[in-house]
Structure 1
């Protein structure tokens, strides 16, 4: 005689609802499939394929180096400016690519969102993860170039590298959750992100040194500039790759440790806000799509 399952033992799940980002870990297999899709289809039909992961940042680097370094003379103001520039560009490229992809991740997977139950956070997480995978070849290239200039491994440098990535990953995912959920109903969100990323190039010390902007900004605005998670991550990347190879040394921004903690706090706050907004709006995704 078969026994029926007690009603109290049945676990009901509201279709489309999720248990925040923790659900992503329970659906690791689906996450791996989305990551595989994002990495294998990106250059589908392309002759160069993954080579574009090197070509695009290299082209961007040479453009900025010629215009900013040579024409505007930054090469004379910042020692080993090519390394300084490239170490910031690779990080900023990842930030821009991941944020754009996460913003479009829900609308880009509309068929899955409308028909299949799965945590919707999987899509922004997979978008950021796919961008990170394409970011790795650029870091390898930066690493090889720095080795040529005498860079050597230190545990402190590894710490700078890890903290920079953690801060930027958390901040980027928070922005992706926030704008990705808003973009479902209001497609202006992706355009807002495009405009914001244009400013991001100039609002972080990639094309210039932090000391240059310190001289033109009011003290309070300069302090806000220093705790921007992107600025913090770029400066940590400089400390990991650029500063160790400069013969005369390059000073870090004032209160770097405090700024790093503040940047991490802002990144975590952005992630929490992004998750709350995502949670609030995800119930309408199927209808709005």
Structure 2
């Protein structure tokens, strides 16, 4: 009697995922994890989501009074408070997504050791939670810009979306990379804290790109622009601050070219992060 072996072709090794594609096939579970993380953030809070709008508004007032008026930075950069808040918004998104993505596996160790699910889901959920937390800050920045006469073009709105895409891919890739390493070597988390601390200064958030161009050689300035955060920050400036600037400031040289490079670099980091993640995930349950 002939034995039917047709089922053998569909058998898969237990505990092995198809990577990022598996995450999107479990969208409902991903949504549950994101919802849980957001609810934890505001658990026990009376005002809840209101704090997400109050914080950037208070930041704006502090920047406007302390930096713009007392330090007179408005004289060198018009609407300096909006300039700095726009840059901080996109860098904060990166820092939160990257930091939480690095800790996401160790923070969910109990769940990972009990059941199987696509482990990439945790750094991706961390990025989505960071994005949700960043949206109120973006709304506040845009509302303030509208008050001062913000009238963007379609290209400037597209610049904001492109910046968010670059940072989302970059933070997810780095979160998977360092998150996987952090399972075995917890020093990775401390290294990430140093990167996050330097991120705000490694891109034109607190200063303008002209200050870097005037102090460093051209080749070093080119490397500075290849940092994906640099064009991402400048895209946010281009979308929110540039329409307000009465002096007609110039965007980062070759902004769109370097934005394309930033997108490519972020994609490569995402692919590399997924590769390292899949190579190490077989030890997650054991090391955790």
| TM-score (normalizing by structure 1) | 0.93
Give the aligned partner of residue 190 of structure 2: 191
Cα distance between partner residues in 2 of 1:68 and 1:203: 20
Are 1:11 and 2:16 an aligned pair? no
Cα distance between partner residues in 2 of 1:143 and 1:280: 42
Give the aligned partner of residue 139 of structure 2: 140
Cα distance between partner residues in 2 of 1:61 and 1:189: 33
Cα distance between partner residues in 1 of 2:223 and 2:51: 35
Structure 1 contact 61–89 (Cα < 8 Å) conserved:
no
Are 1:38 and 2:67 an aligned pair? no
Structure 1's unaligned 5+ residue stretches are none
Give the aligned partner of residue 88 of structure 1: 87
RMSD (CA atoms): 1.9
Cα distance between partner residues in 1 of 2:253 and 2:211: 13
Task: Give the 3-state SS of the residue equivalent to 2:243 in structure 1.
Answer: helix
Give the aligned partner of residue 257 of structure 2: 258
Give the aligned partner of residue 220 of structure 2: 221
Cα distance between partner residues in 2 of 1:225 and 1:134: 28
Structure 2 contact 63–81 (Cα < 8 Å) conserved:
no
Task: Give the 3-state SS of the residue equivalent to 1:48 in structure 2.
Answer: coil
Deviating more after overlay: 62-71 vs 162-171: 62-71
Deviation at 1:60, TM superposition (A): 4.6
Give the aligned partner of residue 157 of structure 2: 158
Structure 2 contact 152–239 (Cα < 8 Å) conserved:
no
Structure 1 contact 57–93 (Cα < 8 Å) conserved:
no
Cα distance between partner residues in 1 of 2:31 and 2:284: 23
**Count of residues in correspondence between the two structures:** 286
Task: Give the 3-state SS of the residue equivalent to 2:219 in structure 1.
Answer: helix
The change in CA–CA distance for 1:232 and 1:191 in structure 2 (over 3 A counts) is same
The change in CA–CA distance for 1:66 and 1:195 in structure 2 (over 3 A counts) is farther
Structure 1 contact 164–237 (Cα < 8 Å) conserved:
yes
Deviation at 1:175, TM superposition (A): 0.6
Deviation at 1:98, TM superposition (A): 1.0
Structure 1 contact 65–85 (Cα < 8 Å) conserved:
no
Cα distance between partner residues in 1 of 2:66 and 2:189: 29
Task: Give the 3-state SS of the residue equivalent to 1:104 in structure 2.
Answer: helix
Structure 1 contact 65–82 (Cα < 8 Å) conserved:
yes
Deviation at 1:153, TM superposition (A): 4.0
Deviation at 1:5, TM superposition (A): 7.9
Cα distance between partner residues in 2 of 1:100 and 1:60: 22
Alignment of structure 1 residues 1-289 onto 2, 5 Å: 7-8=6-7, 11-62=10-61, 68-70=67-69, 72-289=71-288
Cα distance between partner residues in 1 of 2:279 and 2:88: 35
Cα distance between partner residues in 1 of 2:98 and 2:118: 19
Structure 2's unaligned 5+ residue stretches are none
Deviations 1:175-217 (A, max 9, x none): 1001111111111111111111111111111111000111112
Deviation at 1:229, TM superposition (A): 0.9
Deviating more after overlay: 23-32 vs 53-62: 53-62
Cα distance between partner residues in 2 of 1:14 and 1:66: 61
